[in-house]
A and B are shown apart, each in its own frame.
Chain A
Amino acid sequence: MSARDQILRKIEPLEPVNHPGDFKGASIDFDFRASLEVVGARIMTKEELEIVFPGRRRYDKTLDGLSLAEVEVLEIDGEFVVAENGAIWLTEEAMPHRVAPFICQHLVINVKKIVPNMHAAYEELKKPNSSFGLFLAGPSKTADIEQSLVIGAHGARSLTVVIHP
């Protein structure tokens, strides 16, 4: 018997329990600016961005995974930011390559929309609209050495968010 059949056969049907449905009663009054700050992102205006990162690279399909390793500052578009935790939803379609937001040294994300919490976020994402998507909250970080927070573990060393009203 295959491992698959073996496993499925061993799973005893248990007494039925209903799925509790979608979670109701979640808080909604979060300040997205405060959350972005907590996760270590900076918020800039378009004008400030021009001054700080004049030579940044925009989305460009010709960039492959390895050549992205050479990119200092990359600018991409996010779909929305979640106010409760500063996470930004990104999809493969809006990036030159899946590894893009990880491998560049510094990352800039444009966002037009804000949703209050993760439940609202998944309302937006009911159907997977992408082969790969992620919530990204701030720059890469680690505290694996004595619990000291270090920014820039393997992924981007900084995250700048530009909110477009």
Chain B
Amino acid sequence: MLSHSEASENFIADAERTDWHDETLWFVRAKRDKASKVLPEWEAMREHASQIKDHTLANLGEYLQAFESKAIANGIHVHWAADAAEHNAIVHGIIAAQGSKTIVKSKSMLTEECHLNDYLASKGIEVVDTDLGERIVQFRNEAPSHIVLPAIHLKKEDVGETFHQHLGTPKGNKDPQFLTEAARQHLRGHFLASEVAITGVNFAVAETGEFVVCTNEGNADMGAHLAKVHIACTGIEKIIPKRADLAVFLRLLARSATGQLITTYSSHFHKPREGQEMHIVLLDNGRTRQLADPKYKNSLKCIRCAACFNTCPVYRRSGGHSYHQPVAGPIGSILAPNIDKKANADLPFASTLCGSCSNVCPVKINIHEQLWFWRQDLMEAGLAPAGKTIGMKLMAFTLANPVIYRVGGSLLRRFSHLLNTRLNPWYKQREMPVAPKESFQEWYKKR
């Protein structure tokens, strides 16, 4: 597997595409700014949401049990899975009982985390991803590169070619309207035929035992309402205490994600449809471990809006696939090492620690601080990437020694051009700023 910096190298090889990716995501970030600034209460609402999540995490066990008993009373089957393998086995068991060979699934990062599609394929079950972006990347045998905009790494020419190969659209047609219509027709067939539908969960309400699923396309609903069996898969951290809390979260989610006022559909599944079977799978997979660590527990507040992706200068210019994880970007970089430290040791270093992620996060997760904590933990565990280890030790040493700091600084200003070499991946595709002739201290002394 390529590390983040190696994979980024491939991504930025196409300079024009990198610029497009960068600018497009920045545009989404700008839409988020506009949609949030309309509300004078925005900052108060972020704080409120953060407190609701703090409160929930402090009482997670009780809220999970409250949710469970309400959901059961509503006629929903509740399952618990300690890890990905258990999760996949539960889902497979439900599908196998139906005897289905093809099923539909709407967007769920959790099923990506569990590699559910591959697992079901090995059992002879085909999963049709129904979110347009996810269907595109599925056809191409790729993973989503962004949790809200799964195909943001692709251009319309790529989608046109993919649909030409898989759906028989005319070669060379790259009109988004035309291609979306082709996908609509193709997926409608699957919606009407499928007996089992899998969806993700945005929020699960302890007070009522209902769960809420948000989409713009309507694909989660098309699948769930036509299928005999609906399986909703969720992480245990998606619980919120009360129905009224949804007001805060639904207001924050879409405005943070895409700058929309609200997602087109926010569906509240309270009880199964008459004659329908409804299941919910509650997954741990390392979340309880994260919860037990005061440094990292806040990462469980995430509502998966991807605002931190869109604002991140590293994500925008390296692309989602360079993070080699289903959840990329800044939040992915603090979640992934918890699941596998060694395999994801590069990710906390894929950041400038500029703090922009923490500034936009609707639930006020201290993302950049956690990135820094992970760097320290990984250093201690001897897992940090080699180049970074030397750099970090040098930095700690320099900052602790004022004399070396000053002398080093003056040397650096004279010889900074030497840094811009092949040895330092940071300078790929970057111009080194010209170093000032005198340091701030020198300048200040002269005044």
- Within 8 Å of chain B (Cβ to Cβ): is A164? no
Known: A134-B265, A145-B176, A150-B177. A7 touches B284 (CB 8 A): yes
B132 touches A145 (CB 8 A): yes
Contacting pair A65 B132 (CB below 8 A): no
Q: Return chain A residues, CB-CB under 8 Å to B177.
A: 148, 150
The A-B contact count (CB < 8 A) is 241
- Segment 38-65 of B: residues with Cβ below 8 Å from A: 39-41, 44-45, 48, 51-52, 54-55, 57-61, 64-65
**CB-contact partner of A8 in B41, B61, B247, B265, under 8 A:** B61
Q: Assess the B226–A99 pair: CB atoms within 8 A.
A: yes
B351 within 8 A of A: no
CB of A65 within 8 A of CB of B225, answer: yes
Closest-CB distance, B70 to chain A (whole angstroms): 10
Q: Are A145 and B179 in contact (CB under 8 A)?
A: yes
Q: Give chain A residues whose Cβ lies under 8 Å from the Cβ of B225.
A: 65, 97-99, 102
- A12 CA to B287 CA in the complex, in Å? 12
Given A8-B64, A134-B266, are A146 and B176 also a contact pair (CB < 8 Å)? yes
A137 contacts across to B, CB distance below 8 A: 261-265
Asked if A152 contacts B180 (CB within 8 A), the reply is: yes
Minimum CB–CB distance from B154 to chain A (whole Å) comes to 8
Q: How many residues of A contact B (CB 8 A)?
A: 73
Check: A51 CB closer than 8 A to any chain B CB: no
Judged by a CB distance under 8 angstroms, whether A13 is at the interface is: yes
Does B386 belong to the interface (CB within 8 Å)? no
Nearest-CB distance from A27 to chain B (Å)? 6
Contact A155 B181 (CB under 8 A): no
Judge whether B250 and A135 touch: CB under 8 Å.
Answer: yes
Secondary structure at chain A's binding surface: helix, strand, loop or mixed?
Answer: loop
Task: Tell me if A39 is interfacial: C-beta within 8 Å of chain B.
Answer: yes
User: How many interface residues does B have (CB within 8 Å)?
Assistant: 90
Name the interface residues of B158-177: CB closer than 8 Å to any CB of A: 159, 176-177
Collect the chain B residues with CB atoms within 8 Å of residue A136's CB: 264-265
Taking CB atoms, residues of chain B closer than 8 Å to A33 are none
A78 at the interface (CB under 8 A from B): no
One of A19, A25, A143 near B41 (C-beta < 8 A):
A25
- Measured CB to CB, the closest approach of chain B to A26, in angstroms, equals 6
Q: For residues 207 through 258 of chain B, which have their beta carbon under 8 Å from a beta carbon of chain A?
A: 208, 210, 216-219, 221-222, 225-226, 236, 241-244, 246-248, 250-251, 258
A155 touches B132 (CB 8 A): no
Judged by a CB distance under 8 angstroms, whether A110 is at the interface is no
Cα distance A119–B183 in the bound complex, in angstroms: 36
A141 touches B82 (CB 8 A): no
Task: Judge if A103 is at the interface, Cβ distance under 8 Å.
Answer: yes
Contacts of A121 in B (CB 8 A): 247
Q: Is B388 an interface residue (CB 8 A)?
A: no
- State the CA gap A92–B241 with chains docked (Å): 24
- Chain B residues lying within 8 Å of A133, measured Cβ to Cβ, are 267-268, 270
CB <8 Å contact, B264 and A141: yes
| Beta-carbon contact of B284 and A66 below 8 Å | no
Contact with B along A125-165 (1 / 0, CB 8 A): 11010111111111111111111101011111000000000
27 contacts between A and B (CB under 8 A): A3-B284, A7-B236, A8-B61, A10-B292, A11-B291, A12-B292, A14-B297, A22-B244, A23-B41, A23-B44, A27-B40, A39-B262, A87-B266, A98-B225, A102-B221, A118-B248, A133-B268, A134-B221, A134-B267, A137-B265, A141-B216, A147-B27, A150-B180, A152-B180, A153-B132, A155-B218, A155-B221
**18 additional contacts (CB under 8 A) given A11-B288, A23-B247, A142-B180:** A3-B86, A8-B65, A10-B289, A14-B297, A17-B54, A17-B55, A18-B55, A39-B261, A87-B266, A98-B221, A117-B247, A118-B247, A122-B244, A133-B268, A134-B265, A137-B263, A140-B264, A140-B265
A: residues with CB less than 8 A from B are: 2-4, 6-8, 10-20, 22-23, 25-27, 35, 38-39, 65-66, 69, 82, 84-87, 92, 97-99, 102-103, 117-119, 121-123, 125-126, 128, 130-148, 150, 152-156
